[in-house]
Amino acid sequence: MFGLGIIGLAIYAYTIYDVVSSNFGGQNDKIVWVLIVIFLPFLGTILWFLIGRKATL
């Protein structure tokens, strides 16, 4: 179980890094995504990889 926790924490940290380092059309988009990922860790991470990354490409 401890290993799964470490993997989950690593994915969460990578998601925050990915959001912060991505290029957005406006600065408010970045702030909104960071807040979503911070306040809704599991759901925010899933939403970022399903919706958010495609919007920044």
10-residue averages of pLDDT along the chain (57 residues): 89 94 86 94 93 76
Closest CA to 37 of 26, 29, 4: 29
pLDDT score at 55 = 72
Longest dimension (CA), the chain: 40
pLDDT score at 57 = 60
DSSP string for the chain: -HHHHHHHHHHHHHHHHHHHHS--SSHHHHHHHHHHHHHSHHHHHHHIIIIIHHHH-
